[in-house]
Structure 1
C-alpha cells in the first residue's frame, strides 16, 4: 500500500502533524503501539510548529514540566538525530534569565531548588560573570542571572520531521494532505474519523490539532478550552559584532524589560516579545481550514514599548533593520498549562494540544501521554495537564479572557499561590458574598470560589505575594490557633460530591476501591481509586447512606476525573447510577474543641461520642434545615462536615456563626487547612498522584488485600519487590524567613535522593513540615537529610509520627477509640 493511502482501520488515529502529533506518534511507537495513523491536512509542521522560535530551557518552576524539559534537551541534543539521521540543528548555547529585583532573584533561587531535584546544571551568577558570558547586553540594574549552560534552541521543523521519521521507521503511517472532517463515536465504543480520503475506524483518537483543536473537539461535543493568541519575534539584519564570534551567545530571558528573549539567529539578532498589554486573539470561533504556514502582519504599535527596551538592552542592534517578522498564532489554555490526557466524558478520546511552548515541552509531554495510553498511567504527575481539570464552566468567554490573562503573565514572576483573577467569579457557594464581606480572599478551584484566608480588621483583603514569609504567615497562624484552641468554620462547597446508587452499586463500588466498603449505614471510609497499574487515580471519602446507596466526596479538581473513571468501569447491564451533586450541594467544615458545643446549640441531635461516633454520618436538622452531618476532620480535631442543598447553606451558616460567637468561632481558609493537615501527617493531592502506588505513598492502612479491587494485582506486585521511592514525613529546619513551595530537592551527603511533594509551616507545633518522595534506604525515622530551599540546603529529619496529636485522640474524642466499619 502506498504511504499516502489511508487504511480503513487503526488502533490509534492522531489528528494533526505538528510537534505534538509527531511527538506522540514517535513515542507510541517506542512504547510498542505501531498500528498508528497520523493525519495532517497540509504538510507536517505547517500550523504553529514551523514558525516557533524553537527554544528550550531548564529554567522552570514546575517540577513536572522540568522532567519533560530534561528529557527533551537530551532527545534533541543526543538522541533524535543519531536515531533517525534527520537533522534537528541543535544549538546548545545555554541561557541567562535576568533578575533586576529582589523578588526576581528569589524566583531564581526557588528555580535552583527545583532544578537541583531534577539534576539540572544551573547556577546564579553576578553581573561580572554575565558580562563574560554575554559582553553585548546592557546590565544596568541587573542584580544577577540564572545561568543554565545546557539550554539551547532547535530547528522546529527539523525536530518534528525527525520525530515523524522515527515514528515511520517503527511502523507508524503518516498521511499528509488528508484533512479530518468529523470524529464520531460508534455504538461499539470505537471512533470513526471521517476524512477527505474516506473514513478510518480506530480504538483511540487523539486531538493534536493545535490552533484547530477546539473546532475538532466540537465535532464530538467537547468545548476544548483553548484560544489562539498571536506572538511576535523579529530577526534583525546581520550583526557586525557577531561576525567574528567563534561561539554562540547564550539566550537572554529578560522578563522585566523585554518581556521576552533575545538571542543570536546565525549571525543576526532575534527578539521575541510577549507584550504586557493589549494581547491579541485570532480565530476565536474558527481557524480557516485553508490556513497553511499562516502569519499575520506585525503590529509594531502593540509591541513597541518592549521592542524599544530590547534595543536599549542590546545597543548593537539599534542601527540594524528588521529582515524578517514572525507574527504567528499559538494555542493558550485558560491556565497556560497544556491539555494532555483524556477528554472529559469521551472514552479513548485523548487531547494532545494547548501547548504554548510546543518545542520546549512537547516531546516529554507526548512521551507521558503515550505511556498513559499504552500502560494506563504516566510516569510523571499529570494533574496540571489533565484536560479534566477544567469543567463545562470554562465556556468560550472564559477561555478567551483567561487566555489573554495567561499571555500577559508569560514573563511575570510566578509567585507561590499566584491567584489569577480574570473572568471570576464563575461558581460560587451560597456563602460567597457573606464570607467576602467578612474578609475572605478567594481562590479558584475547578471554577469554584474557595476562601484561602481571611483578612483581619485593618488588613486589605488582597493577596500578599513573596517567596519569603509575608504578613500572611501571622494571619494563617491565627486561623490555625482558632481551630486548635476554639473552633473554625470553613466553606468546603467546592468538594466534588457524587451519589452512587442502584441494586449493583455496592458490588460495583467495592470492586473499584482499595478499602472495604462500610457494612453499616451511616459509616464512612477513606479510600483510593486505582488504575490497573496500581497508581492512584484519586483519594475519596465514601459514606454508606443505605444499602446500595453511597455518597462520595473528593477534592474539587478530581470531580470530572472521578466521574469519568467510575462511569467508564460500570459493567454492561449493571444497575448503577451516578449523580453529580457538586453544584446542588454546599458544605461547611466545623472543627475544633468547641465544635460540639456550637453544633449542639443548633440541633436537637445527640452529638455525644456514643451516639455520634467518629467516622459516622447522620441526617440531622440545623437551623431547621436537613443536613447530612459527617463526623470527620481534615484538621485532625473534633469536628463535622455538614453537607446540604445549596439553598440551606446560608441559614445553617448564620445559625452556627451566631452560636459560635461566644466560643470564639473563626472563619478559616484553605491555607490554614493545609498547615493543619501537614501537622497531622495527612497526605494530600501532592502525595497521592498517578506516579505512585499505595505502598510507595505509605497508605496501606486504607487497603484490604483480602478483597478484590481494581489495581490489586499491581499493588501485590509493588509489595513483592523493592519500592522505587517512599513518601517520607520531614521536620525541616526553620530559618524564620522562607518555607519553600514544593518540588525542592532532597539531598543525602550532597547527592539528590528525592523531591518535596508538599511543604508548609505547622503553626501549632512551630515546625516546617514536608512530605517528600525519597529513596527507601534514606526513609528510616531519625535519618538526617537536607532540603534545598531558596537555593540553600536546610537540615531535615525523617519523622515516625505526625507532629500533632500523633495518637489521634482529638478527632475521635476518646483515647485510642476503635471504630468498626
Structure 2
C-alpha cells in the first residue's frame, strides 16, 4: 500500500521491517492462521533500502552448524516455490591444502545435515563449470548443485502478496519513532504517520536493531558493517552468456572473496579488507537518509583503497590481486559499479531471534542474511503463534540464536564492536572449532584463575568466563600415561594433557573448576508446585535428596537437563550448565513462576564458585577437611548437604559428572581462593591433578552422561535422548502431552553410542553416520571425543531406532574417508555404577 494510505489504529501483530525477514515472518504467520498482521517500513515497498535491497542473494546452503544449514535449505526450497530463486549450483574452492581438507569436512557436514548431492571436484572439474578461472591456483572445490541465487526483493514482494491475500497489510515510507511499553508489555508502535496499538510487535529491522533496543532499554548486541561488491564490464569468457542461465556461484574463502555471474559481466564480493563498522544511529530517519545522498540507507560510497590495497589484518594481498589471480581476465576489465553494502554481525556471528525477557509481546528477528531469511521467518512465526520455535512445523534447536543467550557484558558498545569486528574479519577464514576469540577476554574470572594460570591452564571463553580446558603442567605425566596422537586437524588447539587428566581421575583424584555451573535457587510456598510443573521427574522428595530431570517445552523438546537438590520443604537449588544456561534456563523458570510473591528465584551465576573433586581418592581428600560425615551411609549417592570445609561454608552434592566417586562443592565467591588452596593441599598426598573440562567431557561420554547443547537439545525429546528414566508421567509438567504422544506412538530415532573400530581414531561432531553397504546417511554425530579408559574413539549420534541397536556396523565419514565403527550399549564404562557409589 502507498504512503498516502491511512494507517490502522490497531493490529494484533505489527512487524517493523519489510525486507525479506519481515515479509517471511508475515507470510508464515498468515499461513498459520493470523489475519490481523500489519507490516511497516521506513522505505518504499519492497525495495526498502535495507540489506535486502542490495544483497547479492547467494544461497550456499552448507552452514557452520545444523541450525544455519537447515534454515538455508528451507529458504532455498521456499524461494524456489515462490519462483524467486535461480538454481545455479555453488562451488567453494580451496587455495590451500588446509582449505581442501576443510572442504572435505564441510561436504560431510552438509551430508550430515541433509544437503544431498554435494561433491568434491578436481581443479579441472571446477574449471569445466567456471571456465574463466585459473585452475592451476586451486586444489579443488566443494560443489552443491542445488545452491543458487535468491532474488530477495522479488521474494519479499511475493511473500507479501500472499500474506495480503490472507489479510495482512503493508505500509511503506513509515518511520517508527518509538515503541510504547507499559507495565512490562508492548502497547503500540509509534510512527511519523500515527500510532498503531498492538498485541505483539516483531522487530525485523536488521542493521537498525540496536536503535529499537534503545527505545525500550534492551541491549541488542549487533553492529552494522560494510563489505564491498563490484561488477565488471563484459568478460571474453562470458560472451554470449544468458542472464537466465548462470554459472555456479563461486567462493574463494582463503582470500575472503565471492563471485557471481551477471550475464556477460562478473560480480566480485569482498570481505578482504578491514572491518568497516557503522553506527546505526547514522543511517536511520528521513533527515539522515537525505543527507547521505545514496540510493539506499544501507549503502556507503565505494572506497577503492579497500579493494586495491591490502587492509585486511590477516591477509597478505589486496582483494583486487587475489580476485585477478583466480580470474585472470579481471586484470583487463573495468568495474562498472562498486558499493560498500551493509549487513551486520553479532558477537558470535549468529542471528538474534525470540521474545524479549523484560517485555511481553516484543519479538526480534535480526542479524539474518538472505541465505537464512525464509527459514528464520518460519521459526519466529511458529514461535509467536505456537509458543515453540519450529522450522516448517518440525522441532528445531534455535538455542544458538536465542536473544537470551547473551550475558550482561554483551550489551556494552566495546564488546559488541570488538567481537562484531572479529566476526566480520573471520567470516570467510578457516577457523578451528576450538580456536578462541582473541579480544574481549578475561571478563569473568573465578577466584581460582591466578592459580590455574600458574598451572598452565588453557582457557576457553564460556559466556565470558575463563574456563580451563586442560593444564599444561599435566603434560609432565605423559611418562606415566600413554595418550594416542590425533589426526592433524583434530590435534590443533588440543593437548595430550586431556588424556592424562582423564586417566588420572580414573586412577586417583582430580579437581575441576565448576564455577560456570549455575545454581538457580527457588524458594517459597509455591516452590514445589512451580518446579513440579516444569520438570519431568518427581522432585517432591525429602530434603537432602537430589533428582535428575529434564525441562521441556510444549513440544517435549529438551530445554535443559538439570540436577535438583532439595534443602528444605520450601527451598530447592536447580543446578544447570555454564555458558548461556544461566540466562536461558533461569528465564524459563521465571516466566512460569506465579506473580503473587509465593516464589523467590535467585540465579547464582556470579555469586558462587565451585570445585568438583572426583576419583577413587575423593573421599580421602575431603574427609579430613569437611565437617560432614562422607561415608556412604551418612552421605549416600545423589544427596546434598550444607557443611563446612574447614572455615569455608560449602554446599556439597554427592555426584560426579566424570562417573567416579565424588562431590561437587559450592561456596560464595569470596571464599573461593581458600576452597582451592585447601583441597589442593590436602590432595597432594593422593597425587591430585587439576582437571580441565575436556577431560570431564570425555570421561562423561564414557559414562553415558549427556551434555546439553550437543546431544541434548530442543530438537529431541527425553525418550529420543535416552533419558526417559527421568520422566515421571504421574506428575504434570510442561510438555507432558507431547511426551505421552511420543511414548505411545513409538520412537523413530534415538541416541546411540558408537565406537570407532580403528585403534586411536577419533572424529569430530557434525559428521555423517553411514550405512556400510548402501552409503545412506543414517544420522549425524552430535558429540565426539576419545575414551581414554576404553581406548577407543566415541561418537554419540541420533539414528533410526532400528539402526541404534548394539552391534550394528556403521561407518563415520571424516575427511573423505569412511571409518568403520560399531553401535554399542551404554554406558561404555562402569555399567553397574560401582565406582560412583563406593
**TM-score bracket, shorter-length normalisation:** over 0.9
1:518/1:435 Cα in 2 relative to 1: closer, same or farther (>3 Å)? farther
Q: Contact 1:469–1:738 at 8 Å: present in 2 too?
A: no
1:346/1:107 Cα in 2 relative to 1: closer, same or farther (>3 Å)? farther
- TM-superposed deviation, 1:375: 2.3
- TM-superposed deviation, 1:516: 0.9
- TM-superposed deviation, 1:114: 1.5
Matched, 1:199 2:223: no
Mean Cα displacement is larger for which, 298-307 or 2-11? Answer: 2-11
Mean Cα displacement is larger for which, 728-737 or 590-599? Answer: 728-737
Matched, 1:301 2:301: no
Counterpart in the other structure of 1:717 = 741
Which residue of the other structure, out of 541, 551, 566, is the alignment partner of 2:563?
A: 541
- TM-superposed deviation, 1:465: 10
Mean Cα displacement is larger for which, 203-212 or 392-401? Answer: 203-212
Q: Deviations over 1:190-213 (max 9, x none)?
A: 532222333323332212111111
Q: Contact 1:416–1:466 at 8 Å: present in 2 too?
A: no
Unaligned runs of at least 5 residues, structure 1? 82-87, 814-821
Matched, 1:116 2:111: yes
Which residue of the other structure, out of 386, 392, 404, is the alignment partner of 1:375?
A: 386
Which residue of the other structure, out of 779, 786, 798, is the alignment partner of 1:773?
A: 798
Q: In the TM superposition, what are the counterparts of 1:275-424 in structure 2 within 5 Å?
A: 275=272, 278-283=274-279, 287-290=283-286, 291=289, 293-294=296-297, 295-304=299-308, 305-355=318-368, 358-377=369-388, 378=390, 379-394=395-410, 395-424=412-441
Mean Cα displacement is larger for which, 465-474 or 475-484? Answer: 465-474
Q: Contact 2:184–2:359 at 8 Å: present in 1 too?
A: no
CA distance in 1, matches of 2:451, 2:151: 55
1:712/1:91 Cα in 2 relative to 1: closer, same or farther (>3 Å)? closer
Which residue of the other structure, out of 425, 429, 441, is the alignment partner of 2:446?
A: 429
CA distance in 2, matches of 1:664, 1:383: 40
1:173/1:758 Cα in 2 relative to 1: closer, same or farther (>3 Å)? same
Matched, 1:803 2:821: no
Q: In the TM superposition, what are the counterparts of 1:124-523 in structure 2 within 5 Å?
A: 124-187=120-183, 189-245=185-241, 247-257=245-255, 259-275=256-272, 278-283=274-279, 287-290=283-286, 291=289, 293-294=296-297, 295-304=299-308, 305-355=318-368, 358-377=369-388, 378=390, 379-394=395-410, 395-456=412-473, 467-470=489-492, 472=494, 474-523=496-545
CA distance in 2, matches of 1:48, 1:445: 31
CA distance in 2, matches of 1:147, 1:2: 43
Which residue of the other structure, out of 73, 87, 101, is the alignment partner of 2:76?
A: 73
State the SS of the aligned residue for 2:547: strand
Counterpart in the other structure of 1:703 = 727
Q: Contact 1:746–1:785 at 8 Å: present in 2 too?
A: yes
Q: Contact 2:407–2:583 at 8 Å: present in 1 too?
A: yes
Which residue of the other structure, out of 33, 50, 53, is the alignment partner of 1:50?
A: 53
Q: Contact 1:627–1:644 at 8 Å: present in 2 too?
A: yes
Mean Cα displacement is larger for which, 393-402 or 344-353? Answer: 344-353
Q: Contact 1:229–1:332 at 8 Å: present in 2 too?
A: yes
Unaligned runs of at least 5 residues, structure 2? 290-294, 309-317, 477-485
State the SS of the aligned residue for 1:110: helix
Q: Contact 1:416–1:467 at 8 Å: present in 2 too?
A: no
State the SS of the aligned residue for 2:408: coil
1:2/1:284 Cα in 2 relative to 1: closer, same or farther (>3 Å)? closer
Q: Deviations over 1:595-626 (max 9, x none)?
A: 11111232232111111111111112124111
Matched, 1:757 2:758: no
CA distance in 2, matches of 1:10, 1:775: 45
Q: Contact 1:116–1:745 at 8 Å: present in 2 too?
A: no
CA distance in 1, matches of 2:153, 2:271: 22
Q: Deviations over 1:315-341 (max 9, x none)?
A: 111122111111122111011111122
Matched, 1:94 2:89: yes
1:6/1:563 Cα in 2 relative to 1: closer, same or farther (>3 Å)? farther
- TM-superposed deviation, 1:406: 0.3
Mean Cα displacement is larger for which, 767-776 or 395-404? Answer: 767-776
CA distance in 1, matches of 2:493, 2:596: 57
Counterpart in the other structure of 2:311 = none
Q: Deviations over 1:130-189 (max 9, x none)?
A: 222222212334222111222111222112222222222222221222222222333384
Q: Contact 1:344–1:560 at 8 Å: present in 2 too?
A: no
CA distance in 1, matches of 2:814, 2:222: 35
Q: Deviations over 1:472-494 (max 9, x none)?
A: 36221111011111111111211
CA distance in 1, matches of 2:425, 2:205: 24
1:136/1:728 Cα in 2 relative to 1: closer, same or farther (>3 Å)? same
1:338/1:188 Cα in 2 relative to 1: closer, same or farther (>3 Å)? closer
- TM-superposed deviation, 1:724: 3.8
Counterpart in the other structure of 2:315 = none
CA distance in 2, matches of 1:799, 1:736: 17
Output the TM-score relative to the length of structure 1: 0.93
Counterpart in the other structure of 2:715 = 691
Q: In the TM superposition, what are the counterparts of 1:604-615 in structure 2 within 5 Å?
A: 604-615=627-638
CA distance in 1, matches of 2:459, 2:160: 45
CA distance in 2, matches of 1:65, 1:792: 25
Aligned length: 797
1:308/1:112 Cα in 2 relative to 1: closer, same or farther (>3 Å)? same
Q: In the TM superposition, what are the counterparts of 1:568-647 in structure 2 within 5 Å?
A: 568-647=591-670
- TM-superposed deviation, 1:804: 0.6
CA distance in 2, matches of 1:472, 1:189: 48
State the SS of the aligned residue for 2:490: coil
- TM-superposed deviation, 1:574: 5.0
State the SS of the aligned residue for 1:50: helix
CA distance in 1, matches of 2:135, 2:57: 25
Counterpart in the other structure of 1:104 = 99
State the SS of the aligned residue for 2:466: strand
- TM-superposed deviation, 1:33: 2.5
State the SS of the aligned residue for 1:58: coil
1:735/1:407 Cα in 2 relative to 1: closer, same or farther (>3 Å)? farther
CA distance in 2, matches of 1:497, 1:466: 39
Output the aligned Cα RMSD.
2.2
Counterpart in the other structure of 1:730 = 754
1:414/1:191 Cα in 2 relative to 1: closer, same or farther (>3 Å)? farther
Q: In the TM superposition, what are the counterparts of 1:20-31 in structure 2 within 5 Å?
A: 20-31=21-32
Mean Cα displacement is larger for which, 219-228 or 162-171? Answer: 162-171
